Amino acid sequence: MLYIKVFLILGLFVLNQLLSGQESFELKYSSEENEFLYYTFQNSTGNYISLGGKQIEFGPEPVSPLILNISSTGEIISENIIIKEDTSYSYRYGFEKSNGNYFLIGTLTDSVSPYDYDVTYVCEMTPELDLVWEKLHPIPAEYIHHSIIDFLITPDSNILIQGKVDSSLYGSNDLIYIALFDMNGEKLDFVLYENWTDYGIYNELIYKPDSSGFYLIGDIGINYTPKDWLEFDNNLNIVDYGYIENWLSYLHSPVSAKWLSNGNMIIANNSSGITIPSNQDLEVRIVDQDFNMIKDTIIYYSNEYVYIPTKKGLGFIDENTIWIATFEAAFLFLPGTEVFNFHIFDSNLNLKGVKQYGGDKRYWFFDLTVTNDGGCLLTGMVPDYEGSYNHDAYIIKVMPEDIFTFAEETPFDFDRDVLVFPNPFSTEINIQTVRKNLTFNIFDVAGKLVLSKEIDQIPNYNLSTGKINPGFYFYTIQYKSRTIQSGKLIKE
pLDDT tens over the chain, length 492 residues: 322 333 333 223 333 333 443 489 999 998 777 899 999 999 999 999 999 999 865 555 688 999 999 999 999 999 999 988 888 999 999 999 999 999 999 999 986 565 678 999 999 999 999 999 999 999 988 888 899 999 999 999 999 999 999 876 555 678 999 999 999 999 999 999 989 999 888 999 999 999 999 999 999 999 889 999 999 999 999 999 999 988 777 788 899 999 999 999 999 998 876 545 555 788 999 999 999 999 998 887 666 788 999 999 999 999 999 999 999 988 898 988 888 999 999 999 988 888 889 888 999 999 999 999 999 999 999 998 888 888 999 999 999 999 887 766 766 666 777 888 778 888 888 888 888 889 999 999 888 999 999 988 877 788 899 889 999 999 999 988 888 888 888 888
Query: Residue 413's pLDDT is what?
Result: 63
Q: How far apart are CA 281 and CA 287, in angstroms?
A: 19
The answer to whether residue 482 sits within a structural domain is: yes
Query: Residue 72's pLDDT is what?
Result: 94
The answer to whether residue 386 sits within a structural domain is: yes
Same-domain status, 293 and 363 = yes
Query: Residue 6's pLDDT is what?
Result: 32
Same-domain status, 389 and 443 = no
343, burial (CB in 10 Å: exposed 0-12, middle 13-18, buried 19+): buried
- Number of structural domains found in the chain: 2
> Which of 367, 386, 416 finishes a domain?
416
The answer to whether residue 369 sits within a structural domain is: yes
Look up the CATH number of the domain holding residue 398: 2.120.10.10
Same-domain status, 71 and 174 = yes
Q: How far apart are CA 246 and CA 252, in angstroms?
A: 11
Same-domain status, 439 and 324 = no
Same-domain status, 363 and 319 = yes
| Closest to 286 (Cα-Cα) out of 312, 241, 326, 319 | 319
How far is Cα of residue 62 from the mean position of the Cα atoms in its chain?
Answer: 25
| Whether 104 contacts 95, CB under 8 Å | no
- Residues written for the chain: 492
Query: Residue 346's pLDDT is what?
Result: 95
The answer to whether residue 55 sits within a structural domain is: yes
Same-domain status, 412 and 460 = no
Q: Residue 459: which domain range?
A: 428-491
> Which of 355, 384, 416 finishes a domain?
416
| Closest to 297 (Cα-Cα) out of 284, 281, 288, 315 | 284
Look up the CATH number of the domain holding residue 437: 2.60.40
How far is Cα of residue 337 from the mean position of the Cα atoms in its chain?
Answer: 18
Same-domain status, 407 and 441 = no
Provide the residue type at 53 as one letter: G
Query: Residue 359's pLDDT is what?
Result: 84
Q: How far apart are CA 65 and CA 81, in angstroms?
A: 6
Same-domain status, 404 and 442 = no
> Which of 385, 416, 447 finishes a domain?
416
The answer to whether residue 423 sits within a structural domain is: no
The answer to whether residue 421 sits within a structural domain is: no
The answer to whether residue 295 sits within a structural domain is: yes
Same-domain status, 347 and 444 = no
Same-domain status, 348 and 434 = no
Same-domain status, 347 and 263 = yes
The answer to whether residue 377 sits within a structural domain is: yes
Query: Residue 12's pLDDT is what?
Result: 31
Q: How far apart are CA 396 and CA 381, in angstroms?
A: 10
Same-domain status, 443 and 410 = no
